Amino acid sequence: MSGIETGKTTAIVAYITIVGCLIAITMNLEPKNAFARFHIRQAFGIHLLFHALAILLTYSGLAYVSIIAYIVYMVLWVLGFVQALNGKTKPLPVIGSYFQKWFTFIS
């Protein structure tokens, strides 16, 4: 069985809310899987970005702009989730490569 097939379940779990991402991190502790790690970092970045934007927009008085944040979140989430399902490791547009650099603590 290839590394992609063994890490696919963990990668998919990572996209199911921030809690799923934390569960996926623990699932990938032993044995470590590069495919799962890639998608955990992507999903963690998506979830963290969304929550940060939600907090920022709420407290800045721009809550009406949050619809844009939801749309961006859903587009990125769908792109990442579909890539995990298809066994691909292409970074998300614009920010995906940053997630791979910033979240190196996820191994």
**What is the tally of structural domains in the chain?**
1
Q: Is residue 14 part of a domain?
A: yes
Structural domain contains residue 10: yes
Q: Tell me the per-residue pLDDT of 14-44, one tens digit each, with 9 for 90 and over.
A: 999 889 999 999 999 888 899 999 999 999 9
Q: Is 16 within a domain?
A: yes
The answer to whether the pTM exceeds 0.85 is yes
* Residue with token string 């910033």: 102
- pLDDT, tens only, 48-95: 999 898 888 888 877 777 788 888 889 999 999 999 999 999 999 888
Domain that holds residue 86: 3-102
Domain-located, residue 61: yes
Question: Confidence band (pLDDT; 50, 70, 90) for 1?
Answer: low
- Does a structural domain hold residue 107? no
Burial group, residue 9, by CB count within 10 angstroms (0-12, 13-18, 19+): middle
Long-range contacts of 32-35 (CB under 8 A, 24+ apart): 32/107, 33/3, 33/6, 33/7, 34/3, 34/7, 35/3, 35/4, 35/6, 35/7, 35/8, 35/11, 35/87, 35/89
Q: Is 34 within a domain?
A: yes
Q: How many CA atoms lie less than 13 Å away from 94 in the CB half-sphere?
A: 5
